[in-house]
């Protein structure tokens, strides 16, 4: 079985979406053992957007069914999309998918780029209509940097949870089993996740 870790390192140097909290870590050594004080945001590093991130009264991260975040997943290569992933990039590629992960040219990048590839509103409609329950991207956000929140609201309002800032650089297009579990943060709008894929082949 091949296992792909599709989680980016969470460190002080992690890619930071403008306006987000810069992760900080301070080791405390009391002479017998060490602990680390952490300052992170709910959307630091590879993370999940719960519906409550944009939808008032929406599910918080601790209320998302774990079955949504563990199960079959389809990786599709959208590297040819420069800044916008439209319906033409998804056409005939969604049938039978429950979780959809978008691999773009941003995988492997180490610095924020406001021109990252994002889902268009029309593509978001297509995703919802296809019954996708979880969509992920290797970009800093599923929505364009200049977006007005409509893509997030369309997806999250339909109950489609969102994973952002994955690392799919080493993952070929195909069918996988995914586990992407958040911390159980009571009432939170998101959480860092540890996300892996496996292909089920010995």
Supply the residues annotated as catalytic.
53
Are 160 and 133 in contact by the 8 Å Cβ rule? The answer is: yes
- Going by C-beta distance under 8 Å and a sequence separation of 6 or more, which residues neighbour residue 153? 54, 55
Strand partners of residue 35: 28
> Tokens in use for 154?
């369309």
**Where do we find the tokens 């389809």?**
74
Q: Provide the CA 159 distance to its chain's centre, in angstroms.
A: 15
| Structure-token match 């893509």, residue found | 151
CA contacts within 13 A on the Cβ side of 1: 10
- For residue 53, give the 3-state DSSP assignment: helix
Q: Which two tokens mark 58? A: 């929406």
């Amino acid at each position: 079985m091949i296992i792909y870790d599709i989680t980016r390192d969470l460190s002080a140097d992690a890619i930071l979406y403008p306006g987000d909290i810069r992760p900080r870590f301070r080791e405390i050594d009391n002479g017998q053992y060490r602990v680390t004080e952490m300052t992170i945001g709910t959307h630091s590093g590879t993370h999940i957007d719960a519906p409550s991130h944009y939808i008032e009264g929406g599910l918080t991260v601790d209320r998302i069914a774990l079955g949504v975040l563990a199960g079959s997943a389809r990786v599709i290569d959208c590297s040819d999309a420069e800044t916008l992933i439209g319906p033409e990039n998804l056409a005939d590629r969604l049938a039978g998918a429950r979780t959809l992960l978008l691999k773009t040219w941003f995988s492997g990048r180490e610095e924020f780029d406001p021109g990252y590839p994002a889902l268009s509103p029309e593509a978001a409609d297509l995703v919802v209509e296809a019954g996708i329950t979880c969509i992920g991207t290797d970009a800093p956000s599923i929505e364009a940097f200049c977006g007005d929140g409509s893509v997030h609201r369309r997806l999250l309002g339909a109950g489609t949870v969102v994973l952002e800032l994955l690392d799919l650089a080493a993952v070929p297009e195909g069918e996988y089993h995914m586990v992407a579990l958040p911390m159980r943060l009571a009432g939170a709008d998101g959480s860092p996740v540890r996300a892996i894929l496996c292909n089920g082949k010995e």
